Structure 1
């Protein structure tokens, strides 16, 4: 799914109106019907709504939603701003339609101070949509602060008021903190970053049937990893195949006291389909690895830590889990990089070693995949003010070094050498535990070994990691789930994928 800017979304609306038999007011009604239907289906225990409407088209959506839900049996009160402010043409039409109904009261914003927000009241936010270009001020800022102080469930239409759809505002702006955001047609970038996404609550993308030609022909640089993309990438296991058909994966890592990281990465590579899996680790981890991962073959790379990176060129290598940064490990690893031309998966201590000198970045083979968390990224490339600027820096560095960057976060991003960004929307806070990154290294190493392209490996890998974590959290809870529980769900996710792909043939 493409992520469009606010300007592109406005163009999409205009394109739909000019190429289909639909007017702007009819398109607003279509969007409002979709939002009202979601609310009526999910809010059966709350029949009282306080709907706050701005003067623009987002307010028009809110006015239409209020009318539709009133006709569905909800008790609805509507709040609007000063009548001196001009309503948009479509909002004015919906305000008139609303006032033609005798059962809905239309009040001014300042009357909300004395309104009875009981525990059955849901606040509907339709103050500002994607057109907002600056932080809230004056009366509207005060209104949002007042609504934020209420404990009632809050639902925003399209975008939480005060939030830009494309950028982060400076100076700690006031933004409505929603429990749900019912957005239209596509995700907005600000929903996907930690500084701004915390205001959206659960995001529901409602399809309002905007023109598909526009979506197909309009360029975008930002994308959501959705089911359609995953199904287009995933390749089911062929019946007439053998272990040689699925490549050789090698996990290089482990050191005294950190063998568990290598175990997790190895188990992950084994469980995601590599034909042959090897682990190059120090001899102190031999018994642990052979006992916990009997399907993998062991290659001794040192005694207490890895000092020999001797591996055949036909192997796909994932390097870093538990590797440590001992001077001998560092020296041997950097020497290995100087002579390596094949793409690698680099994580954890492999990145920490590289980050010690800026010049080391040039040693990373082209088309390699690096998987830094924010702190590792900072050590590699420098600090930034926020996650938006960090992502833009990542785009620059991916192009400069011709590498793929998997920037780990709540919504992990894949940045390609061409500058495209793919946001992942699977996964949950249960992954915020040591070992989760080691699992991802194993997944990526296995998929690349099996012949997926670097871009496909990144996209499918982080989606699979997150989807497995979602199943693990359902079974064990986010608090109690372990990285090994995530590995245990790989099979269920592959079963899902095989069913979907088989159905689509």
Structure 2
């Protein structure tokens, strides 16, 4: 799914009117009706619900006015707070006239409104079209909404949040429990810096022109199941273990063999034909007893890696998990990277920390390698950044320079390609914020790379099924109790889902 800019969304609306020969009023009615249907799912007994709808002067406010009428028709109690200005958009003004005057109360941005925590708040002040940061004059109404304790739903965007650039941290911005955004995610909804304003969002299809969507150019994409299914490979009757590649995981050190154990189990669950580990000698009994399906090769040293094995016989190599940064390990990685052939690597954890200290070695890392840093590891590689937009731009420059595929971990993890394309993941949950989740991901991606998926496919699919498996697991385990091993146990469910049609049938 393409992620489109505010200007592109505006163009898309216009092209939809032309292609479908409808009016802007028709499109507003359609969009608001789609939101209304979502609200009905959340609150089936609308006649027992009270809605406060805050409407701006433009078409986002017009959406709110249509919602007010639709909710009122279902016997909900509705009160509209409309920003008082001299001029409204034509469609906004038209929909004002379709409501009884008694339902609408005009307010100023500075006004403080008493809002009960028992009502349902719909924020329709500003949508994606907001071009400038709101001034402090808006603190009155926005702080009233944010501080009321009620559930807050924003239509298209949390009011005050800019769609395509960083919004000042001290600007007045709605803190939405859920954002109903139209047709395409907006980039700002996906970034960690906006987490206080976007607890969650849902993309609603409002039937915009498919021709115009396909014609729109974007270097930003939102990964959904349809995309992953497009390159998912079903297995054939006469395939064998050699078909699915031999994966090698290099890592581990004293006290951190569990990381390799998790990566091996995940690699096997993700479908590699063979899995081996290269670890310090003390890791042999641990891995042989806990992952009997894997093979183990040991370093001469007991507690750390002092040299790297010959890797020509492996289809994929993941390096760094639990590896530590002993000086012998640092020296061994330098030698290994300097002499490696053109086989792409999956680099994580201490492999990244070591290379960040020796940046001249990046040029020796094979092109199309995959890097999976967490935020602190990424800052060691790139230095600091002012905001999430700058962070992504810095990663794009780095990925292009060395032809790497770089994961920016987090909610809606961003995957940066060497050609400048960026893919945001749609799966996963906060239960994954625990030690070991990254080790699993390294195992999954390395496994997929060994099975013949391209670096791009292995990264996108690996991140997606990792998150989807965790989403399945938390349905019964919850986010507090989720362990990385739980995610591994549900990888099979995530993979089965890729083979199912919309009716749940496996083909």
TM-score where L is the length of structure 2: 0.95
User: How much has 1:21 moved relative to structure 2?
Assistant: 1.7
The 3-state SS of whatever aligns with 1:245 is coil
**Contact 2:346/2:445 (<8 A) preserved:** yes
The answer on 1:16 being equivalent to 2:38 is: no
1:34 equivalent in structure 2: 34
Distance 1:204 1:355, change over 3 A: same
| Counterparts of 2:364 and 2:408, CA distance in 1 | 20
User: How much has 1:97 moved relative to structure 2?
Assistant: 1.5
1:64 equivalent in structure 2: 66
The answer on 1:50 being equivalent to 2:52 is: yes
User: How much has 1:201 moved relative to structure 2?
Assistant: 2.5
**Contact 2:319/2:345 (<8 A) preserved:** yes
For structure 1, the residue ranges without an aligned partner over 5 or more in a row are: none
1:105 equivalent in structure 2: 103
**Contact 2:135/2:171 (<8 A) preserved:** no
**Contact 1:190/1:197 (<8 A) preserved:** no
| Counterparts of 1:121 and 1:429, CA distance in 2 | 28
The answer on 1:178 being equivalent to 2:176 is: yes
User: How much has 1:115 moved relative to structure 2?
Assistant: 6.0
Stretches (4+) displaced over 3 A: 110-120, 500-505
The 3-state SS of whatever aligns with 2:243 is helix
**Contact 1:281/1:302 (<8 A) preserved:** no
1:339-359 superposed Cα distances (whole Å, 9 cap, x missing partner): 112100000000011011221
Distance 1:328 1:116, change over 3 A: closer
Query: Structure 1 residue aligned with 2:204, among 195, 203, 206?
Result: 206
**Contact 1:231/1:500 (<8 A) preserved:** no
**Contact 1:79/1:112 (<8 A) preserved:** no
| Counterparts of 1:259 and 1:112, CA distance in 2 | 58
The 3-state SS of whatever aligns with 1:130 is coil
User: How much has 1:75 moved relative to structure 2?
Assistant: 1.0
| Counterparts of 2:109 and 2:413, CA distance in 1 | 43
User: How much has 1:421 moved relative to structure 2?
Assistant: 0.5
| Counterparts of 2:253 and 2:486, CA distance in 1 | 24
2:323 equivalent in structure 1: 323
The two structures, once aligned, show a CA RMSD in angstroms of 1.8
Shifted more, 166-175 versus 431-440: the winner is: 166-175
| Counterparts of 1:312 and 1:206, CA distance in 2 | 48
2:288 equivalent in structure 1: 290
1:82 equivalent in structure 2: 84
**Contact 2:347/2:371 (<8 A) preserved:** yes
Distance 1:317 1:111, change over 3 A: closer
Distance 1:115 1:414, change over 3 A: closer
| Counterparts of 1:399 and 1:493, CA distance in 2 | 31
The 3-state SS of whatever aligns with 1:79 is strand
Shifted more, 229-238 versus 241-250: the winner is: 229-238
Shifted more, 414-423 versus 17-26: the winner is: 17-26
| Counterparts of 1:500 and 1:329, CA distance in 2 | 47
